[in-house]
Amino acid sequence: MDLIETIHEIPVQNPSVDDFCAADLKWVKFGTPEHHDDVALIPYARVDEFIFGECSNVESPTRFHIERGRKRSKGSLLEFKSDEYLEYRLYWCSFGPENYGEGGIILPSRRYRLNTRNRAARPQSMRGCTCHFVVKRLYARPSLALIVYNDRRHVNKSGLICHGPLDRDAIGPRAKKIPYVGNEIQQQTMSMIYLGIPEENVLEKHIEGIQRYCGSDVVVNSLASQYVHKLGMIIKRSTHELDLDDEASIRIWADRNKKSIFYYEESTEPFILGVQTEWQLQQMLRFGHHSIIAVDSTFGIKRLKYPLCTLLVFDSRQHALPVAWVITRSVSKADMSKWMKALLGRVCAVDPTFKVNGFIIDDAAAEIDPIKETFSCPILFSLWRVRRSWLRHIVKNCRNIEVQREIFKRLGEIVYSIWSGANPFTVLEKFTHDFVDQTYFMQYFTATWVPKIEMWLTVMRTLPLASQEASGAIEAYHVKLKVKLFDDSHLGALQRVDWLVHKLTTELHSSYWLDRYADESDSFQTVKEEYINSTSWHRASQIPDTDVTLDKLFAKIVSQSDRTRVHLVWNPGSEFAFCDCEWSLHGNLCKHVVKVNMMCENRCEYQSSTSFQSYQEILTSMFKKPPDDSLELDLAVAWLNQIHDQIEKLVELNKSTDIGMVVNKLPLKWGDRKNRTLLCRQAAVRPCVSSSSKSNVARKKSRKRRRLSSIR
């Protein structure tokens, strides 16, 4: 917008509508480069229509009062500038400038008289709104009015919306009669609205929720309907763009949502933002304690402004659940240590005993030292990203399905050569020689993977590999995240951080919250079924063994949706098995491959999975006898025996259908004698002794002592 220094260059605007507002005018910058304002020039006779239009703002309905005014008589100035006023009036939103709300500061007494006729209805309703504008009736041109809009947004000094339908804290005069809406009911209603469920269904579930706290009548239903409609309107009108500048917008968001941030420094470079809601913190404490945390580390590295790193835990159904998001481009040790220590500090502030038993990474280039230093746990590596990338580019660049099968199988042989005793680079050289005619794929492979294949193979050799179930769960989250973020309606906002944060904390967060709520409360059966079947592992467990026919080179699986169709899975028993179903051809780990590998586990004619071979290699290295018969041998045997016992218990727990039988087999653990005695005494006294009975007991004891002393 160009800067205008003389008022004669500002065009006079006269909208055709009866009542108009700021959105109907074209604003220009007027003043000097150091100090300028947004101004518009309209006929003075239409000032009242402009004020009425501003009061009728749908998002922030209000009234404007005259905060300050001055007048001059015609001919009182011998010399004057082009913007000198004949009449000057400062109009302020009636919800300000004082702030009588929580944490507000009441302005001191003024030295001038206020026009109180059109103020807010009650002083308690004033919330420190900063919206105000000036109307100048020009001295040189009395028929025109210069409108100077100083602050157009209805927010307080903290930048928060302070009144109107978009104000989350706004309550009406009938607040005492409104039924109780707890956090659970509110989150349920918000989640359903974010997921696009019709308002009638949302209202029905909302009324069911509030009926647990109050009865059902016409008033309650009416108020519930108003609440759902208002909440839907707030969500519909909410926007990620709190400011035109992305950095300023994310700064405002961070100031409003401090409870959802575990690491953020606005003045640091590179940019790092760690987001974790209170519900995610609860899930991390619940499912991450003495369990495994996984990471989807480099989402959107090419399309987003900053890549997204997600920390995941595995819930009661072994589904990947996001518990923290980190938005940054930096992968240095120092920066990773900062946000990891901040996250662990936040969790330990709630539960000081929090302990992670394992950490799964999916990027060979990731720094593992900060993970070891912060979480002090073993690190595992997942092949899901490697497998997905290879399969997608094979299907994309090779048209012949037989060639696709063979290339994928041979790539798997490169990985399996780590444990087979063959030289991986010899296998790689033979692979590149045999498929030199596949020009497009080999160009991708030699440019992207060959320069760093040694790094990836080294990580696979040195770190334990994650199981197929864990890899499938991480991939399921990745696919869901991709669907939520990369839809066509938001392609223009991919380079804004505020849009990414808004998308994560609203739609994606609500989706996972509703999934968990539906599963635990046994409600929303459609949502629950979709949630249970969201991973390939659970979909595979529903395929009967009778629908699978195994062969040495391939396996046949009858389709569950169309019984007349049969899917072929080549290279069974391997993570690099190739299926001809549509889901697999998009690069995903499909249920047919998982099912076939499940059935090949205990068959000696098929090769073991990479995770099992990695596990076997670790046990073999631990079992190796040291050079001399020393204490190291005893330590190795002790560790091996302990791991063996833990694995046996886990296998028994997973295969058992009755948890009581497993518990009865566990050894009885006794505490020390002192603790047992104290616990028994406390349990015996607390339920039956009240405060009055305690005083009576003390009085009886004292009387007895007096009697004994008198006898002596």
Proportion of the chain above pLDDT 90, given as a percent: 32
Helical segments of 398-438, H only: 401-420, 424-434
> For residue 215, what pLDDT is reported?
59
Please say if the pLDDT value at position 687 is more than 50. no
pLDDT score at 287: 93
Residues 238-251: tens digit of each pLDDT: 777 778 888 888 98
The confidence band for 110, taking pLDDT boundaries of 50, 70 and 90, is very low
Q: For residues 122 and 480, what is the distance between their CA atoms, to the nearest angstrom?
A: 49
Q: How confident is the model at residue 394 (pLDDT cuts 50, 70, 90)?
A: very high
On the question of pLDDT at 390 being above 90, the answer is yes
Cis omega (within 30 of 0) on the bond before 464?
A: no
pLDDT value for 41: 92
> Closest Cα to residue 138, out of 182, 188, 81?
81
pLDDT of residue 645: 78
The pLDDT score that the predictor gives to residue 608 is 81
Q: Does position 630 have pLDDT exceeding 70, yes or no?
A: no
pLDDT tens digits for 142-193?
Answer: 899 999 998 888 888 878 887 776 766 554 444 444 555 666 777 788 888 8
Confidence of residue 3 (pLDDT cuts 50, 70, 90): confident
Contact 161, 137 (CB under 8 A): no
Nearest alpha-carbon partner for 484 in 246, 299, 347: 299
pLDDT 10s digits, 378-388: 999 999 999 99
Count of CB atoms situated within 10 Å of the CB of 290: 11
Task: Note the pLDDT of residue 234.
Answer: 76
Judged against a pLDDT cut of 90, whether residue 342 lies above it is answered with: yes
The answer on pLDDT for 257 being more than 90 is no
Q: Which residue has the higher pLDDT, 702 or 683?
A: 702
Distances from the Cα of 439 to the Cα of 158, 397, 414, 446, angstroms: 59, 8, 20, 10
Which pLDDT score, from 0 to 100, does residue 222 have?
80
Residue 657: pLDDT above 80? no
Q: Residue ranges of the domains in the chain? A: 3-151, 175-237, 246-378+494-509, 384-464+542-624, 627-665, 676-711
pLDDT, residue 569, reads: 92
**Phi, psi angles (nearest 5°) of residue 554:** -150, 170
| Percentage, residues of the chain above pLDDT 70 | 82
Tally Cβ neighbours within 10 Å of residue 203.
19
CB atoms within 10 A of CB 160: 15
pLDDT of residue 391: 94
Residue 412 in this model has a pLDDT that exceeds 80: yes
What's the token pair of residue 292?
């495994």
Task: Check pLDDT > 70 for residue 470.
Answer: yes
Cα–Cα distance for residue pair 188/55, rounded to 1 Å: 34
Task: Identify which of 85, 55, 62 has the alpha carbon closest to the alpha carbon of residue 73.
Answer: 85
**For the ranges 52-66, 386-400, 408-422, which has the lowest average pLDDT?**
52-66
Task: Kindly tell me if the per-residue pLDDT of 370 is higher than 50.
Answer: yes
DSSP class per residue in 140-181: S-TTEEEEEEEE-S-B-TTS-B-SSTT-TT---TTGGGSPP-
Query: Looking at the predicted structure, is the pLDDT value of residue 632 above 80?
Result: no
Place of tokens 């040694």: 454
Closest CA to 38 of 89, 4, 63: 4
Cα 672 to Cα 255, 675, 679: the distances in Å are 50, 6, 11
Q: Please give the pLDDT value at position 697.
A: 47
Return d(Cα 413, Cα 394) in angstroms, integer: 16
pLDDT confidence of residue 694: 47
Residue 360 · residue 345 · CB < 8 Å? no
Q: Residue 180 has what pLDDT?
A: 54
Q: What is the pLDDT of residues 10-69, one digit of tens each?
A: 889 999 888 899 888 998 888 887 888 889 999 999 999 999 888 888 777 888 888 888
**pLDDT score of 296:** 92
Structure tokens of 520? 């635990």
